[in-house]
A and B are shown apart, each in its own frame.
Chain A
């Protein structure tokens, strides 16, 4: 496990002290969860949710109570022309 690679995937900038610390700590956690290799799980069905719920459908209709545009934008650190403002993405 290369912590720099994981941090890039997670989009988290780490300083050099954090790189050292997390490399050690996460290696330890990985070593700990290796415990699960002791179990024979070949014929076991995975559980993704405690309650077996299948697709819940409803008619594709707008409902009352949707947020206004103002409410949608009100917490953004940067808004312009009723949109979220970001650094340029396309060159």
Chain B
């Protein structure tokens, strides 16, 4: 039995049957990481000794008893390093407290194990903005794993992790999950606490699972979801038993296909995979209905104004005073400017600069307020579509993963590739990526994800449809 290939459900069964103990599982997993991760780069670090202490006292009766969970390197776990894959925080920051999601994982018996590579401060869609090291796609080492949760998705895909938690501000869970051929869920805004996650854009960020199966995503979500005293945007609506709900059939489900998503720009081979997945859905009793999201062409502009504006504000605290690297300086302004100039990578600087411009005196109404108003139109598009259908189906990314080095020359082109994922963040709805086959690029099969989008707090219907598809797909 190769432990690292197991799902959460399978590892639980192996523990229950007495085939293996959590201590043995962690040692085996660490051995796999040491042997194979140098060729992939999914892990920034792990602490086996600390995890073994947790493993020795693991309560296997708990829902995630003894299960190691890899954390994206922006999720605080007390005593663990946290760098956001930035030179600013690398080797200088240790989390002094647990994020709410980590506290909930621990209470459910899970063991936080490993820090996943990512784009610096979650800004990017290729993982190439990691200031610490490159992360490769396990399906083709010349290609990117996607981002920003690239390390999480690559580790799960390469069987170097059982499951992981990532974060999604504009597609950062779903897009790497699609590129790496694993399952990734962005929960509805307010479903999961953001307390203890290094914030990128506070009105868009959500934390969610990246796993090998939809059932594992359901199991993780029911542990991490729920209200939080430390995040006032987190809603205390009761958490359904997702893992028990997913098995029901989907006869009569209405799935909308947005006409605008299947226009120019979408790779024909990906389009064919999505259409084939819709045939599978029909065979399961679902009805496919065309819908319109008329303002789709504006979502990238809206998103990059709002996300960078919020980021420029959130990242003001990264200043070399309370944490992080500090440059030599003779006065306070110089200390800020030099520390930030030396500490941030180029994409982070670009986004902070753009966000600062759109919020600057005289420009607020022209950019930020206009984007917030246009955001209302996107919400109305989805409300209108969801009055006719239960779920929406879409691609995740218009293209397969690009080759390492291809994206950096043209930032705008890279931003435009987020077109199918960012609406879920702007509107706060839930959405996931589930593998729907491969496309052949230069003779190599590369994974493609099917995106399903659900109503706010509609995770039960979303996971049920994804699970039914996953079972039928084989």
Which residues of chain A have a CB within 8 Å of any CB of chain B? 1, 3, 6-15, 18, 22, 25-26, 28-30, 32-33, 35-37, 39, 41, 44-51, 53, 56, 58, 63, 65, 67, 71-72, 74-78, 84, 86-89
Contact = CB atoms under 8 A, between A and B. Distances in A.
A85 to B, nearest CB: 9
A78 B326 contact: yes
Interface string B412-453: 100000000000011111000000000000000000000000
Interface stretch (B18-26, B135-143, B297-305, B386-394): B297-305
B49 interface: no
A24 to B, nearest CB: 11
B320 interface: yes
16 contacts: A3-B353, A11-B333, A18-B349, A29-B411, A36-B371, A37-B370, A39-B298, A39-B377, A45-B373, A51-B233, A53-B232, A75-B94, A75-B324, A77-B324, A87-B332, A87-B335
B271 interface: no
Given A44-B373, A50-B428, A87-B332, A33 B367 contact: yes
Nearest to A79: B322
A88 to B, nearest CB: 7
A75 B376 contact: no
Contacts of B298: 35-36, 39
B350 A47 contact: no
Nearest to B368: A46
Nearest to B363: A1
B202 to A, nearest CB: 9
Contacts of B356: 6, 9-10
A77 B92 contact: yes
Interface string B361-398: 00000010111111111010000000000000000000
A44 B337 contact: no
Given A75-B323, A78-B326, A47 B376 contact: yes
Interface string B91-130: 0111011000000000000000000000000000000000
B353 A26 contact: yes
Given A33-B301, A75-B92, A39 B374 contact: yes
B190 A12 contact: no
A13 B340 contact: yes
B235 interface: yes
A12 B337 contact: yes
Contacts of B376: 44-47
A46 B329 CA distance: 42
Contacts, number: 169
B329 A14 contact: no
A41 B233 contact: no
B337 A26 contact: no
B331 A50 contact: no
Contacts of B301: 32-33, 35-36
B353 A77 contact: no
B15 interface: no
B330 interface: yes
B456 A51 contact: yes
Contact of B94 (A63, A74, A77): A74
B261 interface: no
Given A25-B350, A44-B377, A74 B426 contact: no
Q: Among the interface residues A7, A48, A75, which one has the most CB atoms of the partner chain B within 10 A? A: A75
Contacts of B97: 65, 67, 71
Contact of B321 (A46, A50, A56, A76): A76
Contact of A29 (B323, B335, B340, B412): B412
Nearest to B303: A33
A77 B189 contact: no
Contacts of A41: 370, 373-374, 377
Contacts of A89: 331-332
B372 A48 contact: yes
A80 to B, nearest CB: 13
B337 A11 contact: yes
Contacts of A84: 321-322
